[in-house]
A and B are shown apart, each in its own frame.
Chain A
Amino acid sequence: MSDLLELRGVSVCYGGRTALDSVSLFVPHGGQVAVVGPNGAGKSTLFKAMMGLVPLSSGEMLIHGRPASEYRDPVAYVPQREEVDWRFPVTVFDVVAMGRYGRGRWLKRLTEGDREVVRRSLERLAISGLAQRPIGELSGGQQQRVFLARALAQEPHVLLLDEPFTGVDIGTREATLELLQNLRASSVTVLVSTHDLDLAAGRFDQVVLLNGRLISAGVPKEVFTEEHLHEAFGGQMVVVDGKVIVVDQCCGGHGPVGGIDTCECDTCKVTDTGSSGP
């Protein structure tokens, strides 16, 4: 199987601070990868770098062995819900159709082919019936599906989902996972950032554990070891009865152990990775 996506020693600096330090990755064609790590670990920075939104201070990103910049729309991105202005006067169809805009096509009308792609994308997320509704009238889960549909309409090589399981209802969570399952057939490579280590371990073929640098990447079993988790989460991890428990401090300000009892944020995850013994 050929490597679709390859990062070679990618580093990103923000104002003198190194946000990502020499990350190298291989993702096979059609692979599905969960990107995990504590807050500030560089998950969002990694995604921004892959989208070309922040310059790489060193390293390169290759798709099928060629620089990503040679492709038209190499990477599609699903934003976090709070990044979107939901009062903007656009319909569901309008938003998904934006996925068909692009380089050199800003002055042309959408072709019938474009419209067909938009319709198919809406169908795949079961939101065809909402096409003419303003986005502000949708529920949170429906809103997320709109942006997933837009990403599909871009027909990207690589799809990046930033925290798609945060703050959504069960239905949307399942719909998102189902879509990921469907995408395997169309060989779209997917990277998903998440705080949900259970999900990462259970539903993805590959896991990337970050904390400013790459701590480990590979199948979940090899990545989620006590040693790696300790390196990534430090004091946010405890070992009880030979089992590793990670308390991801996404609510901010909670003590690592006290957080187990007091944290009510639904994205905080207490994960039992099972055996970590020898």
Chain B
Amino acid sequence: MSWLTEPFTMGFMQRALVASIIVGVVCAIIGCYIVLRSMAFLGDALAHAILPGVAVAYLAGANLLAGALIAGVIVAVGISYVSRAGTIKEDTAIGIFFAAALALGVVLISTMDTYAVDLTHVLFGNVLGVSAVDLWITAGLAVAVLVAIALLYKRLLVVSFDPILGQTLGLRTNLLRTGLFLMLAATIVVSLRTVGVALVAAMLVTPPAAAYLLTRRLPAMMAVSALIGIVSAIGGLYVSYYLNVASGGAMVLVATGIFLVAFLFAPARGVLWRLRRPRRAKAS
């Protein structure tokens, strides 16, 4: 059994483990809202849109996560503001900001004459690069996001399920939406080191999607999703360590495997379950 404990005798692997678990939990929980509100595109776009922030931080020699957070906040608020008036649809606003920010990131990175290894790590994740400072930023943001979700639980439930009820009950739906965008930006920054911007959307969507098939109420969906997120993160970490592959890719593949199992075998909703019992004729 020493293969289980062996990786974590080293300090950088311990940090990687903590960071991975944090990522697994936070992505999986906020991801439930992303899945239920059909915001997967926003998750992917926000992830890519933080690139210019990372590039500027790199050029300035500042902390990459701090740069990413600033860029993420700007883009999140921007998308929310442009689409709130209703003149431009949300997915169009996302497309515009996402492409512009990504383009700015590419332009900035192309000015660098040295091959920036750090930046490829931002793209694809590299758990071994988690510094102590990064870990503190990660943990702080994660706690902030989870506390915000807990405090806003009922409000987010109502505006996600029935925004009109939310408005008649006096909720400021635009403000809540912007808040959710900001939490999402923070979550993506948390995930930078371990999963990388290219794949963080999968950690936001895949565990909640699997949990959705296995549960019937939102609290249960969040709990199961978090569990799947943790298993994926730790599992991916082992795969990454022993096969020497990128951690982000490994975690996403483990999560995808879990999703496929749920998709096939979930009680009542799984493919096999439906094959076994002929579909009930839908009552009209």
Contact = CB atoms under 8 A, between A and B. Distances in A.
Interface in A78-134: 79, 83-85, 88-91, 94-95, 98, 101-103, 106-107, 134
Nearest to B167: A53
B23 to A, nearest CB: 23
Contact of B164 (A51, A90, A107, A134): A51
A75 interface: yes
B165 to A, nearest CB: 6
A74 to B, nearest CB: 9
Given A88-B36, A102-B170, 14 more contacts: A51-B167, A52-B168, A53-B167, A53-B168, A73-B168, A73-B169, A79-B162, A84-B161, A89-B218, A89-B220, A90-B218, A106-B155, A139-B283, A150-B165
B242 to A, nearest CB: 36
A98 B165 contact: yes
B216 A91 contact: yes
B168 A76 contact: yes
A139 B152 CA distance: 31
A121 to B, nearest CB: 15
Given A98-B158, A101-B154, A89 B215 contact: yes
7 contacts: A53-B168, A84-B161, A89-B217, A98-B157, A101-B158, A107-B151, A150-B165
Nearest to A72: B170
Nearest to B155: A106
Interface of A: 51-53, 73, 75-77, 79, 83-85, 88-91, 94-95, 98, 101-103, 106-107, 134, 139-140, 150
B212 interface: yes
Contacts of B151: 107
A85 B161 contact: yes
A107 B165 CA distance: 17
B54 interface: no
Interface string B139-169: 0000000000001101101101110110111
Contacts of B160: 88
Contacts of A102: 169-170
Contact of A89 (B36, B167, B169): B36
Interface of B: 36, 151-152, 154-155, 157-158, 160-162, 164-165, 167-170, 212, 215-218, 220-221, 283-284
A73 B167 CA distance: 11
A89 B216 contact: yes
Nearest to B170: A103
Closest 4 CB pairs of A and B: A103-B170, A134-B216, A139-B283, A102-B169
Specify which of B151, B160, B216, B221 lies most central, judged by the most chain A CB atoms within 10 Å of its CB.
B216
A85 B220 CA distance: 19
Contacts of B157: 90, 98
Contact of B168 (A51, A83, A106): A51
Among A51, A73, A89, max chain B CB count under 10 A is at: A89
Contacts of B283: 139-140
Contacts of A139: 283
Contacts of B217: 89-91, 94, 134
A101 B169 contact: yes
A88 B283 CA distance: 19
A94 B216 CA distance: 11
A75 B168 contact: yes
Contacts of A91: 216-217
Nearest to A52: B168
B229 to A, nearest CB: 17
Contact of A53 (B164, B212, B216, B218): B164
B162 A98 contact: yes
A106 B162 contact: no
Contacts of B165: 77, 79, 98, 150
A121 B165 CA distance: 17
A85 B38 CA distance: 11
Nearest to B86: A15
B36 to A, nearest CB: 6
A115 B237 CA distance: 45
Contacts of A150: 165
B161 A90 contact: yes
B158 to A, nearest CB: 6
B172 to A, nearest CB: 12
Contact of B167 (A52, A83, A106, A107): A52
A77 B164 contact: yes
B159 to A, nearest CB: 11
A89 B152 CA distance: 18
Contacts of A94: 217-218
B123 to A, nearest CB: 34
A84 to B, nearest CB: 7
Nearest to B284: A140
Contacts of B216: 89, 91, 134
Contacts of B170: 102-103
Contacts of A90: 157, 161, 217-218
B164 A89 contact: no
Contacts of B161: 84-85, 88, 90, 95, 98
A40 to B, nearest CB: 19
